[in-house]
Amino acid sequence: MIQKNYEDGKKHVHVLSFGAGTQSTALLFMALNGEINGVIPDYIIFSDTGWEPKRVYDWLRHINEHIQAFDGKEIVLASAGNIRTDVTERSRFASMPFYIKSETGGREGMARRQCTKEYKIEPVNKKIRELLGYKPRQRVKEIVHLWKGISTDEIRRVKPSRLPWQIAEHPLIDIVDADRINCIEYVERNGLGTPPKSSCIGCPYHDDAYWATMKANNPEEFEEAVKFDEFIRTGITRFRGAAFLHRSCKPLKEIDFSAVVKDGVDRFDDECEGMCGL
């Protein structure tokens, strides 16, 4: 539970996992305005996958400059590298949830997903240990409350922490009862503009509306995704079949998004262990 004082004799540290998206932005400013039980996070950490859209990095810089000027706080950056170049340069394989088409032409399902763990969760935990002054393998003595920007309409993303020294907190659900629309309106009321939706450019969980918007408004980013989509079929041999970014198992560059039949499901909420896209 998030509260100012604890009577267990232990030191409690509050860390806000900032995804530079809608919910985490609202959560950050609710906290700075004293609306999360009057508790201000000790640290605000953004874990950079290296392949976020430009608008997310612009928003990150905008918010960081704002809180530095008005609140004396600063967003701390964490990173495990660039997920796109790690894959394409084969320096490290990040298992992303690609859609796999079997050698016989049928869809086999999705590849195992480890990208969230490797590029979001682990860098944040590593940075927390670093900020608290711990060396590798040293036991963390503090109780760390990790705040996640998961709103009431995403409650299925709520998961407990697997670390004994960490407690996963979901203030938008447990304290302020806010959904995504509430979060957008809150940020806009504070005169900060409209926050973006945070995710990797080539995330397989994008729905057709997201791909269509990217293609129309950010053609350079869409072309990056197209090249990456082609690479995962020609440059990766570990799959028993062909890998695709789109659930239709068709090359991204060949899809007419205005003609694709939508199944009405936004799969973005299924991913990221409550860490990405916040």
% of the chain at pLDDT higher than 70? 89
pLDDT at position 274: 47
pLDDT at position 176: 98
Q: How far is CA 86 from the centre of its chain?
A: 18
Give the model's confidence band at 278: pLDDT under 50 very low, under 70 low, under 90 confident, else very high: low
pLDDT at position 262: 52
- pLDDT beyond 70 at 117: yes
- Residue at 7: amino acid letter: E
Helix (H) or strand (E) run with residue 16 in it = strand 12-17
Task: Give the number of other Cβ atoms within 10 Å of residue 262's Cβ.
Answer: 10
- pLDDT beyond 80 at 182: yes
Choose among 207, 208, 243, 212: nearest CA to 228.
243
- Lowest-confidence range among 99-113, 129-143, 157-171, 200-214? 99-113
pLDDT at position 91: 65
Strands 12-17 and 43-48: parallel
Give the model's confidence band at 109: pLDDT under 50 very low, under 70 low, under 90 confident, else very high: confident
pLDDT at position 35: 98
Q: Quick one: tokens of 76?
A: 């701390």
Mean pLDDT, range 104-112, rounded to an integer: 71
Helix, strand, coil percentages (3-state) for the chain, rounded to 5, are 40, 15, 50
User: If you average pLDDT over every residue of the chain, what do you get?
Assistant: 90
230 burial via Cβ count (<10 Å: 0-12, 13-18, 19+)? middle
Mean pLDDT, range 125-131, rounded to an integer: 98
pLDDT at position 112: 82
pLDDT at position 235: 85
> Tens of pLDDT along 49-74?
999 999 999 999 999 999 999 999 99
Return the half-sphere exposure (C-beta side, CA atoms, 13 A cut-off) of residue 203: 29
pLDDT at position 51: 96
Q: Where are the alpha helices (DSSP H) in the chain?
A: 22-32, 54-70, 83-88, 115-116, 122-131, 171-174, 180-189, 208-217, 219-234
pLDDT at position 239: 77
Distance CA 110, CA 119 (A): 19
Whether the CA torsion 55, 56, 62, 63 is positive or negative: it is: positive
Q: Quick one: tokens of 236?
A: 């990766």
- pLDDT beyond 50 at 271: no
pLDDT at position 175: 98
Distance CA 126, CA 80 (A): 10
- Residue at 81: amino acid letter: G
Tokens 């009577």 sit on residue: 7
Distance CA 261, CA 263 (A): 7
Helix (H) or strand (E) run with residue 41 in it = none
Mean pLDDT, range 97-111, rounded to an integer: 78
Choose among 44, 65, 27: nearest CA to 278.
27
pLDDT at position 111: 86
> Tens of pLDDT along 227-270?
999 999 988 767 778 999 999 999 999 999 876 545 444 444 44
